[in-house]
Structure 1
Amino acid sequence: MSDETPDPAGEHRPVLVVDFGAQYAQLIARRVREANVYSEIVPSTMSVERIQAKNPAAIVLSGGPSSVYADGAPQVDPKLFDLGVPVLGICYGFQAMAVALGGDVAKTGLREYGGTRVDVVGDGGLASSTLLQGTPQEQSVWMSHGDAVHAAPAGFTVIAESSGSPVAAFEDDERAFYGVQWHPEVKHTAFGQQVLTNFLYHGAKLPPAWTMGNVIEEQVAKVREQVGSGRVICALSGGVDSAVAAALVQRAVGDQLTCVFVDHGLLRAGEAEQVERDFVAATGVKLKVVDAVDRFLGALEGVSDPEEKRKIIGREFIRVFEAAAREVVEEAAEHGEGEPVRFLVQGTLYPDVVESGGGEGAANIKSHHNVGGLPDDLQFELVEPLRTLFKDEVRAVGAELGLPEEIVQRQPFPGPGLGIRIVGAVTQDRLETLRAADAIAREELTAAGLDREIWQCPVVLLADVRSVGVQGDGRTYGHPIVLRPVSSEDAMTADWTRLPYDVLARISTRITNEVAEVNRVVLDVTSKPPGTIEWE
């Protein structure tokens, strides 16, 4: 979450999602964007004055784990409702809104968690209120609360109730204030997206004008303004994010861009060749390949701590780019062009920023090498045209830019590569073991037609763990390999993918037969939260 990031939406005023510590704040922002309206997340500690300075088109108050009457619970400043901006309260945000405006919140003695029936108050048939219009009189929603609104503030009309919520939804059309006790952003709420679009289109009267085409136009203009006639290099990994960022910047500045692909020795089998073949063929971009295997493995020697590994990889990336930039300048000088390289393009995404503690109120879950792992003495000005986008939005931008499906639909792969898929110190031997196991898993998933069914499938080597096995009538003492297939929309939340048993069996059999150092394959069945997608 950040209140310092320049508005990436150009002429589009943002819908601000005020985060009260919700599990689903990012999901709310995504659902707003799915309605083609731009959104940003800001912390509940942001002052009303700073919220007003962002010129919001509307405000959504998220859920949260607190009770509105608990000591230290975040509150809504009543001055927020004097801004003349439409407001939607969700769950905790609904209760905090009710209290701030003079309503009554108390415990009902009946908690509601999970699927819950709500009844729309009013005549039979489809609901006719602004917020619930077009939804049925009885509907199933997703609840998660112990407190409930007992009395709506003055000027509000109660529009829904449930057995545990005397006031399950209310609205004040005159001031464009709305609220629901349930979570419309989760898919378990049958008409949740319609409730959100009703608020955006009919309550806040916002047009569905934010599209990927708009994003491209606006970011191209911003990159041109930022870079001017300067020379730019791009940290190209071959993944979706850096590829789309490079293609977008190339559209903006053309041959001022040179892409630098660093072979750090932490790649999967065949990836270096794929980058050189597919991306250059698709874009015609200038590509400089740097062999830095010895440098990275030397810097990582003996390091087991995952945060330290990430920071080392981030630091070495930048040092390599600095050297590559000098070479680009020298090569340009040979042609009479002496302009220095001042700009570095990165494919940083919104989840990277949030998980790296990017902004007031955000916890540092793990440092992404391109955010929290950057060195303090960075010599480049960063160009990050995707910094406010989720992964599915990046894919849409890539398709709009004309990148081939092989690049746009490539499964995510972390910038630190296999370095954070080895639990333990990184060595050449361990990398070769993991590369071989990963190649088998990818080959079998592709053969089974499952590449589009899963978000990604990290293959993890537990290098500091050994287990006893038996192969060829003899005792073995090998390493376990972990398969981590997950399904997700944006990497902020994820669930493990239920792969067919026969596919898992083939992967396990091939790995234990073909990779001598591995004698056990296990399956990670943890969702996110509580686990992250990557192990480190």
Structure 2
Amino acid sequence: MTTETETSSTDLQLTANPLEHVSLNHQMVVILDFGSQYSELIARRIRETQVYSEVISYRTTAEQLKLLNPKGIILSGGPSSVYDDRAPQCDPEIWNLGIPVLGVCYGMQLMVQQLGGEVIKAKKAEYGKAEILIDDPIDLLTNVEEGSIMWMSHGDSCERLPTGFELLAHTENTPCAAIADHQRKLYGVQFHPEVVHSVGGLALIRNFVYHICACQPTWTTEAFVEEAIRNIRARVGDKKVLLALSGGVDSSTLAFLLHRAIGDRLTCMFIDQGFMRKLEPERLVTLFKDQFHIKVEYVMARERFINAIAGVTDPEVKRKRIGAEFIRVFESESKRLGPFDYLAQGTLYPDVIESADTNVDPQTGERVAVKIKSHHNVGGLPKDLQFKLVEPLRKLFKDEVRKVGRSIGLPEEIVQRQPFPGPGLAIRIIGEVTAERLNILRDADLIVRQEVNKQGLYHKLWQAFAVLLADVNSVGVMGDQRTYAHPIVLRCVSSEDGMTADWSKVPYEFLEIVSNRIVNEVKGVNRVVYDITSKPPGTIEWE
């Protein structure tokens, strides 16, 4: 069966059709992805200018790009060197399309090499912050101040520029930090303007998007809502839709959006899989039924899901089995309630990107953009899915979803709800998931949430939660008695969109209170540790 996630042109995509849910009326800047972990961040920064942007495969041809009709093209960074035998290459006809192009790091080096310049291994690799010294302050570097700090991450350097190019900026170690062929509107930067460490990076991106590409800021929340409702109605027609409701901001926003689009033809189904936090299932069902007046079917399936992952410790297997079990429950319950032709999910763009498994070199089989982890609603879906998928939020980042939620009347208590993974506490237990271990983690997690609220930290943190190291025990002393119990990992991070995150410097008093309460109140735990790993190199969740 063909589903919404399939497309007839795999080379045109990273994980889905770039035009899915996006009208051709929107101006667009596309990012050709060469394997950089920052590619999605480039898209995020462009969207901050209210211009639509999306990540697609570096193998997209010039002819395919013509069909997309972008106002601008950005070539991402990547882990390869352009002089490697298997270095990914873009279609050289891209330079002749007459569309402005900005190469970032590897993207700039590829531009230089393909257009007749020379790239060599740098005498001194450059990583971290560097001051740029501006040689030509017009166009790309307008309003970027002399000496601005930019983030460098490269081991190669441009030795000789192609004909028609000139130098825009340099650093102490990098002779060609920014270059341009003004006539052809081809630009390159050796640094990463998309990262938060690059002061003036957003100004540079604005210059490219607004002045060089001549884009208009039409990618707004209001425009998205209107377009999403039209698309939902056109796709669904007079059919009924079943929504996988979790109670988070993603599925709740989708519930409000679908209800506005199709009214009572929407049925929300909340499956209590046993991996929710303490008291959440009861609160969710009451809220949607009594306050929002949206139809919700409650399905108790705790034993079924725990049995599905019994003995499983591999997080990828957990996610895929949970995802498959979700669909099977939906299928069986929908027959009782339905029939339903469509299944709606609150899938977001980071879910799609992190589950990416399609940007593979056809010659070598090597994956250019590495799959980080399979999200249960993307990589965990069974191949014989019996529904057609409706995923209107699939192209949005988390903060964009929050804006949509507010615009359509979603209460602030849900809009500001911290992200919670679809597989729930099952992937916050490192090891086999059992009913006993779930109860331990629920009790610890409740304490974390209570103290986060008491300390006024909830809206200052992207996420704050507990992780149970179920297969680890450590020695402790309580009441002059030896204990041998599990550690709890406390994880608090700050982020803008979930694609990158920093560990939070929360007050020591907060850590002390949480640790004391967990050790004293949660049976089976005798130690609390604090995770001080940022993303990257870690991920926000442990599994």
Q: TM-score, structure 1 length as denominator?
A: 0.94
Q: Residue in 2 aligned with 1:333?
A: none
Quote the offset at 1:506 in angstroms. Answer: 0.3
C-alpha distance in structure 2 between counterparts of 1:183 and 1:281, whole Å: 49
Quote the offset at 1:5 in angstroms. Answer: 4.4
**1:295 maps to 2:299:** no
Q: Residue in 1 aligned with 2:167?
A: 158
Supply the AA of the counterpart residue of 2:356.
G
**1:45 maps to 2:45:** no
Q: Residue in 2 aligned with 1:70?
A: 84
**1:283 maps to 2:296:** no
Matching residue within 518, 533, 537 for 1:526:
533
**Distance verdict in 2 for CA 1:376–1:77, change over 3 Å:** closer
**1:374 maps to 2:387:** no
Superposition map of 1:46-445 within 5 A = 46-122=60-136, 127=137, 129-281=138-290, 283-329=292-338, 340-361=339-360, 362-445=369-452
Q: Residue in 1 aligned with 2:456?
A: 449
Quote the offset at 1:282 in angstroms. Answer: 5.2
Quote the offset at 1:304 in angstroms. Answer: 2.4
Q: Residue in 2 aligned with 1:14?
A: 28
**1:4 maps to 2:11:** no
Supply the AA of the counterpart residue of 1:466.
N
| Further displaced range: 382-391 or 289-298 | 289-298
CA RMSD of aligned residues (A): 1.7
For residues 265-315 of structure 1, the C-alpha deviation after alignment (integer angstroms, 9 at most, x for no partner) is 111011112212334455321111111112222223332222222122112
For residues 491-536 of structure 1, the C-alpha deviation after alignment (integer angstroms, 9 at most, x for no partner) is 2222211211110110010001001211111111222222222222
Supply the AA of the counterpart residue of 1:75.
Q
8 Å CA contact retained: 1:282, 1:403: no
8 Å CA contact retained: 2:35, 2:370: no
| Further displaced range: 212-221 or 440-449 | 212-221
For residues 80-136 of structure 1, the C-alpha deviation after alignment (integer angstroms, 9 at most, x for no partner) is 1111211111111111112222223234523322111111115xxxx3x11111222
**Distance verdict in 2 for CA 1:208–1:483, change over 3 Å:** same
Supply the AA of the counterpart residue of 2:128.
G
| Further displaced range: 14-23 or 25-34 | 14-23
C-alpha distance in structure 2 between counterparts of 1:18 and 1:9, whole Å: 18
Report runs of 4+ in structure 1 exceeding 6 Å deviation.
none
8 Å CA contact retained: 1:357, 1:363: yes
SS of equivalent residue, structure 1 residue 75: coil
SS of equivalent residue, structure 2 residue 341: strand
8 Å CA contact retained: 2:249, 2:402: yes
C-alpha distance in structure 2 between counterparts of 1:248 and 1:359, whole Å: 30
8 Å CA contact retained: 1:219, 1:385: yes
Supply the AA of the counterpart residue of 1:2.
T
Supply the AA of the counterpart residue of 2:434.
T
8 Å CA contact retained: 2:355, 2:379: yes
Supply the AA of the counterpart residue of 1:132.
L
SS of equivalent residue, structure 2 residue 307: helix
8 Å CA contact retained: 2:316, 2:374: yes
C-alpha distance in structure 2 between counterparts of 1:359 and 1:6, whole Å: 17
For residues 339-379 of structure 1, the C-alpha deviation after alignment (integer angstroms, 9 at most, x for no partner) is x3100110011111112225334433222111111122211
SS of equivalent residue, structure 2 residue 352: helix
| Further displaced range: 68-77 or 399-408 | 68-77
C-alpha distance in structure 2 between counterparts of 1:135 and 1:298, whole Å: 58
C-alpha distance in structure 1 between counterparts of 2:498 and 2:245, whole Å: 21
SS of equivalent residue, structure 1 residue 209: coil
C-alpha distance in structure 2 between counterparts of 1:88 and 1:503, whole Å: 45
**1:33 maps to 2:47:** yes
Identity fraction in percent? 54
Q: Residue in 1 aligned with 2:6?
A: none
| Further displaced range: 113-122 or 207-216 | 113-122
C-alpha distance in structure 2 between counterparts of 1:137 and 1:478, whole Å: 57
Quote the offset at 1:460 in angstroms. Answer: 1.0
Supply the AA of the counterpart residue of 2:334.
A
**Distance verdict in 2 for CA 1:248–1:94, change over 3 Å:** same
C-alpha distance in structure 2 between counterparts of 1:3 and 1:376, whole Å: 16
8 Å CA contact retained: 1:279, 1:407: no
SS of equivalent residue, structure 2 residue 464: coil
8 Å CA contact retained: 2:60, 2:91: no
C-alpha distance in structure 1 between counterparts of 2:82 and 2:476, whole Å: 55
For residues 129-154 of structure 1, the C-alpha deviation after alignment (integer angstroms, 9 at most, x for no partner) is 11111222332211122322233322
C-alpha distance in structure 2 between counterparts of 1:18 and 1:198, whole Å: 19
Q: TM-score, structure 2 length as denominator?
A: 0.92
| Further displaced range: 85-94 or 107-116 | 107-116
